[in-house]
Amino acid sequence: MNIQYVTKETLEQMKAELQRMKGVERPAASRAIAEAREKGDLKENAEYDAAKEAQGLLEAKIAAMEGSMASIRVLDESNIDTSKVSILTKVTLTNVSTKKQVTYQVVSEKEADLKAGKISVSSPIGKGILGKQVGDTAEVQAPAGVIHFRIEKITA
């Protein structure tokens, strides 16, 4: 089982999404099947087939989310070790060759959002900086080649 670390807020969002799928989408799928069934011969009823397929996809999504949630561990943001780069730390990096500075928060794959400055712990940069300390240089294998980042600051 692949353990995923998330914040309490992400777990709450996942629970709400699961609840919506079970409480709103599942009954809607059942109603769509019942309505299509009433329209006659099931052998030639495309609407019925589509409704059954949609229900199957929904059930698969629910099962996948439940499986995913079983492997989740909630991280306590107050216990974050800022002596080295780890999940949930905010890291300021300097690209050694361009001198450009960026700040990212290292998060789980589920929470990654580059526009919000959140990179996945399993991304090339995330893997490259994990465990590094302030002053260390990380070598990151990117599609464009190797990039060197200096760790400038680590905060919670």
* pLDDT tens digits for range 73-104: 887 777 788 899 998 899 999 999 999 999 99
Q: Region 125-145: what's the mean pLDDT?
A: 92
Whether residue 93 sits in one domain with residue 52:
no
> Do residue 87 and residue 132 come from a single domain?
yes
| Statement to judge: residues 81 and 151 lie in one domain | yes
Domain hosting residue 104, numbered range: 77-155
Same domain, 91 and 64: no
Shared domain check, 149 and 82:
yes
Same domain, residue pair 85 and 146: yes
**CA-CA distances (angstroms) from residue 145 to 10, 18, 67, 79, 113?**
33, 40, 36, 35, 23
On whether both 58 and 122 belong to a single domain, the answer is no
Closest CA to 88 of 68, 70, 111: 111
Residues 88 and 125 in one domain: yes
pLDDT over 90 for what percent of the chain? 58
Task: State the total domains in the chain.
Answer: 2
pLDDT of residue 108 exceeding 60? yes
Domain boundary among 23, 55, 74: 74
- The mean pLDDT value of the chain amounts to 89
Query: In terms of domains, do 36 and 82 share one?
Result: no
98: domain CATH number is 3.10.50.30
- CATH number for the domain including 52? 1.10.287.180
Binning pLDDT at 50, 70 and 90, where does residue 132 land? very high
What pLDDT was estimated at residue 27?
A: 95
Q: Which pairs with CB-CB distance under 8 Å and at least 24 residues apart come from 79-86?
A: 80/156, 82/154, 82/155, 82/156, 83/133, 83/154, 84/131, 84/132, 84/133, 84/154, 85/129, 85/130, 85/131, 85/132, 85/133, 85/151, 85/154, 86/130, 86/131
149 plus 86 within the same structural domain: yes
* Residues 90 and 134 occupy one common structural domain: yes
pLDDT in tens, 111-127: 899 999 999 998 999 99
Q: How confident is the model at residue 1 (pLDDT cuts 50, 70, 90)?
A: low
Considering the domain architecture, whether residues 118 and 59 belong to the same structural domain is answered as no
